[in-house]
Amino acid sequence: MYEDLASGSRARRTLTGAAHLLFALQLDGPLVAGLALIAAFGLVVLYSASGQSVATVVRTALRLLLGTVALVLLARVNPNFLRRATPWLYVAGCVLLLIVAAIGHVGMGAQRWLNLGLFRFQPSELMKLAVPMTCAWYLHDRPLPPSWRSLAMLTVLILMPVGLVAIQPDLGTAALIAVAGILVIVLAGLRVRVMVALVVLGALAAWFGWSFMHDYQKKRVLTFLDPQTDPLGAGYHIIQSQIAIGSGGVFGKGWMNGSQAQLEFLPERSTDFIFAVVGEEFGLLGLLLLLLLYLFVAGRALYLATQTQDTFARLLAGSLALTFFVYVIINAGMVTGLLPVVGVPLPLVSYGGSSVVTLLAGFGILMALYSRRKLIGS
């Protein structure tokens, strides 16, 4: 591994140099490669989906850069420090959510933003990381599978931020935060009968929650059940995205040549529905390639999680890996009409928001947990 850099071909030297760099930065090569490929593909798609907007691509590239910086920095952080900082992060996140609820900036009909002058910040994004971290932190020195007491405590820890995000209202993010927390508990060994019982309870809660939903939220659910009922209203998104994907066929219509996307029939084509643009312009092959990349990244991340050596690292890394893939499944499922339309972006490809930074920061944490595994003594 430490052979002479001067030997071998130029390509080999480059590769070796890259490997050294990654090692020095405590980054996982395959994972970084997978993420980079997805991000690159995403930029190519985004250029087309935004109507050849260079500005959009540059802005996204800058966010990716910011995310990469976060990734590299977090990868160097000592997991023990991370674990100790977790409760403070959680409290800070909750306080910020309370502030948003009180004075936050109303964007897109929902109160989600905190205007920090230079840029707007969504505390709910922070919670996507803080909640699984908190759950892992809580379970770290407790025997697993978790006891009923622990479960009750974890429920409170999860529901507090989830509730605050849900009232913004941002049901999609709230659900994802909850999923990240729940995944920690599941990986911690939650008993199967408890899971079944919770699913039943969840169904009851859903029925109960229905009466508290906003009209647009109800409409989304109803439209999911039958998009044709409202072809020009709420069902329009799903119908148009299915037309886009279906008309793409196996090979696609070609880059920047998707009529659904380019002529604006496809709504939110560069954000939540960008998966349909890939399907229209790059066809089934493009989508399979993209799904394969996601599967690789998630699989690699999960593998790294299994290689960590303490409970906090394992649970957090596992949750981050799975949450990433849940995003992909929910977004792709929604765009193809398998799942209801919830505002979940396609990781690393959808335009906008601080989600790219959060996501890459998450992978940074994951790599920190993995690379420092030998240093964690107890």
Partner 1 sequence: MPAVRIKDQWREQRLFDQRSLVCAAIMGLGVLGLIVRLFVLQVARHEYYSDLSQGNRVRNEPIPAARGLILDRNGEVIAGNQPAYQLEMVPEEVPDLEDTLARLVQLELVRSEDVGELERTVESSRSFDSVPIRLRMSDEDVARFAVRRFEFQGLDIKTRQTRWYPNGELAVHALGYVGAISEQDLKHIDRAAYAGTALIGKLGVESAFERELHGTNGYREVLVNALGRSVERQGAFVPNLRTRSPAAGDDLLLAIDLKVQRTAEAALAGHRGAVVALDPNNGDVLALVSLPGFDPTLFGRGITATEFGALQADIDRPLFNRALRGTYPPGSTVKPVIALAALTYHVVDPQAHRYCAGAFHLPHSAHVFREYHNEHHGSVDLDDAIARSCDVYFYGLADVLGVDRISAFMAPFGFGKAAGIDIGGEKPGILPSREWKAKMFSRPADQVWFPGETVNFGIGQGYLNVTPLQLAHYASIIATRGKIWKPRLVAAYRDPRTGQIHQVPPQSDGQVTGVAPEDWQRVVHGMIGVTTRGTAAAIGYRAPYTFGGKTGTAQVFTVGQNEKYNASKISERLRDHSWFIAFAPADEPRIALAVLQENGGAGASAAAPIARKVLDAYLLGADGKLKPPQLMKPPQLMEPRR
Binding site for partner 1 (CB under 8 A): 48, 51-52, 141-145, 147, 183, 186-189, 240, 242-250, 254, 256-265, 279-280, 283-284, 287-288, 291, 295, 298-299, 302, 305-306, 310-311, 314-315, 318, 322, 325, 329, 332-333, 336-338
What's the min distance (Å) between Cβ of 63 and partner 1?
24
Contact assessment for residue 332 and residue 273, using Cβ atoms and an 8 Å cutoff: no
**Smaller CB distance to partner 1: residue 34 or 283?**
283
**Smaller CB distance to partner 1: residue 16 or 53?**
53
**Smaller CB distance to partner 1: residue 132 or 279?**
279
**Six-digit token string for 1:** 């591994």
CA distances from 323 to 36, 65, 78, 147, 302 (A): 19, 22, 22, 24, 11
What's the min distance (Å) between Cβ of 103 and partner 1?
36
What's the min distance (Å) between Cβ of 61 and partner 1?
20
Contact assessment for residue 363 and residue 301, using Cβ atoms and an 8 Å cutoff: yes
Query: Residue 132: which of 320, 363, 360, 372 has the closest Cα?
Result: 320
Which letter does DSSP use for residue 110 in this model? E
Which letter does DSSP use for residue 339 in this model? S
Strands 105-107 and 110-115: antiparallel
**Smaller CB distance to partner 1: residue 86 or 240?**
240
**Smaller CB distance to partner 1: residue 30 or 169?**
30
What's the min distance (Å) between Cβ of 82 and partner 1?
19
**Smaller CB distance to partner 1: residue 127 or 315?**
315
CA angle 267, 262, 231 (to 5 degrees): 35
How many whole angstroms separate alpha carbon 31 and alpha carbon 344? 22
CA distances from 105 to 50, 87, 114 (A): 25, 26, 6
What's the min distance (Å) between Cβ of 254 and partner 1?
8
How many whole angstroms separate alpha carbon 292 and alpha carbon 297? 9
What's the min distance (Å) between Cβ of 167 and partner 1?
29
**Smaller CB distance to partner 1: residue 240 or 371?**
240
Contact assessment for residue 156 and residue 181, using Cβ atoms and an 8 Å cutoff: no
Locate tokens 């996140």: which residue? 93
What's the min distance (Å) between Cβ of 235 and partner 1?
14
How many whole angstroms separate alpha carbon 133 and alpha carbon 326? 17
What's the min distance (Å) between Cβ of 281 and partner 1?
9
**Smaller CB distance to partner 1: residue 52 or 115?**
52
What's the min distance (Å) between Cβ of 24 and partner 1?
29
263 residue type, one letter: L
Cβ atoms < 10 Å from Cβ of 204: 10
Instruction: Give Cα 51 distance to the centre of its chain.
Output: 25
E strand spans, 269-371: none
Tell me which H or E stretch contains 257. none
**Smaller CB distance to partner 1: residue 158 or 304?**
304
**Smaller CB distance to partner 1: residue 32 or 305?**
305
Query: Residue 329: which of 346, 354, 352 has the closest Cα?
Result: 346
What's the min distance (Å) between Cβ of 112 and partner 1?
27
